[in-house]
């Protein structure tokens, strides 16, 4: 097992930009991405369906980075009106929108023979349809203001590989990858880039709640480094895709993994 590398300091890669990050409450990839964006100089509007945890996240980041650079608005990405309100709030607060990170997703484990329609539909509505709604809102805004902007979607390596009990989640994440490619082709004409990250195993409290200890141990053992990723290690790649360092990349899904996808 290799040691976790030192935390990478900010380099002003997103200085002056405004970002919306969904599912950013708590200690997962969304929360880590919000912190990394602030460290890189961005103004950030975070959203989540869990209002209390979202407010706690905003207050903690405001204390560290200043209230003028961080704000929050609860948003259920399965509700089109709430998605529209989220994007309108970003523009109202900061006068512009530059980056959208679609991190909202819902997992779970169920064998296909036992899976209910409700289980299947709920995972796809949050994970795939929610990403569609937010990507659509982002592209409409960027096109209306004359172009420019970046969308980064959160996919998963299970969109490429088979894993028992993950048919609904894998189908949703494979859909996110396809949506990313098609959106990128459509948005290129007005200067918008759309890419995705595809993590293998990033440990955070929610994953522990919905995954057995035995499965987590098995997945960790498969990793080439013999450890899971820290959420900030995924966030670093999201920063890269949001920044000018990836200016010629669009329609790509970057595997953030220490194993073959």
- Spatial distance between the Cα atoms of 175 and 135, rounded to a whole number of angstroms: 13
By C-alpha distance, which of 29, 38, 14 is closest to 243? 14
By C-alpha distance, which of 28, 67, 75 is closest to 44? 67
169 is catalytic: yes
154 φ, ψ to 5°? Answer: -100, 110
Rg, the chain, Cα only: 17
DSSP characters over 93-108:
HHS---EEEE------
Active site residue: 169, 190, 245, 248, which one?
A: 169
Nearest 5 degrees, angle CA 136-CA 180-CA 19?
60
Give the residue numbers annotated as catalytic, written as ranges: 169
């Amino acid at each position: 097992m290799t040691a976790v590398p030192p935390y990478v300091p900010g380099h002003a890669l997103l200085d002056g930009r405004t970002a919306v990050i969904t599912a950013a409450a708590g200690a997962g990839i969304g929360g880590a991405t919000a912190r990394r964006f602030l460290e890189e100089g961005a103004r950030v509007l975070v959203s989540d369906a869990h209002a209390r945890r979202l407010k706690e996240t905003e207050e903690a980041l405001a204390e560290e980075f200043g209230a003028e650079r961080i704000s929050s608005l609860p948003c259920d990405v399965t509700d089109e009106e709430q998605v529209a309100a989220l994007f309108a709030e970003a523009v109202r607060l900061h006068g512009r929108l530059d980056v959208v990170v679609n991190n909202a997703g819902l997992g779970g484990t169920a064998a296909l023979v036992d899976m209910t329609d409700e289980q299947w539909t709920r995972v796809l509505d949050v994970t795939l349809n929610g990403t569609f709604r937010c990507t659509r809102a982002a592209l409409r805004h960027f096109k209306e203001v004359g172009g420019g902007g970046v969308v980064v979607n959160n996919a998963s390596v299970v969109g490429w590989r088979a894993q028992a009990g993950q048919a609904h989640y894998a189908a949703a994440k494979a859909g996110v990858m396809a949506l990313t490619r098609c959106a990128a082709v459509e948005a290129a004409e007005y200067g918008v880039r759309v890419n995705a990250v595809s993590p293998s195993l990033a440990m955070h409290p929610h994953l522990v709640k919905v995954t057995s200890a035995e499965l987590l141990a098995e997945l960790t053992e498969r990793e080439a480094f013999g450890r899971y990723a820290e959420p900030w290690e995924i966030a670093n790649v999201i920063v890269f895709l949001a920044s000018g360092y990836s200016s010629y990349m669009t329609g790509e899904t970057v595997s953030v993994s220490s194993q073959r996808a």
